Amino acid sequence: MSQVADPTFSQEILGKGVAVIPSEGRIVAPASGEVVVMFETKHAVSIKADNGAELIVHIGLDTVNLKGEYFEAHVKQGDRVKAGDLLVTVDLEKVKDAGYDVTTPVIICNTPDFPNMVCHTGMEVKAQDPVIEL
């Protein structure tokens, strides 16, 4: 997270986590739980995981400014998701062409509840590869 070009994430203001650079525009649930917030702009989704983790998947940096353009939500607030379920599709090339960084932070907002949290970084990952252990 320290390498993310946005102080909200790099300074871990929202919590600790990892940043993923997606290779395709399919953003899937990193854990099973309930969708707490699907942002109107579809650039971020908050999930209360079954293990109590409160997590946010934030697709790109400053992408809230796109006001939902190039994003399609596949879940809504209150939906139950399983790890690997499709949350959002995004046209990554159009987001990049519009001048935005597609780095996607995955943050555990209630980090203090998980003192043994381990973040795996510096590797290529596929959907559902473990990047955070709680």
Count each helix (H run) and each strand (E run) in the chain, helices first: 2, 11
Exposed (0-12), middle (13-18) or buried (19+): which is 34, by Cβ within 10 Å? middle
Residues annotated as part of the active site = 58
Q: How far apart are CA 2 and CA 19, in angstroms?
A: 9
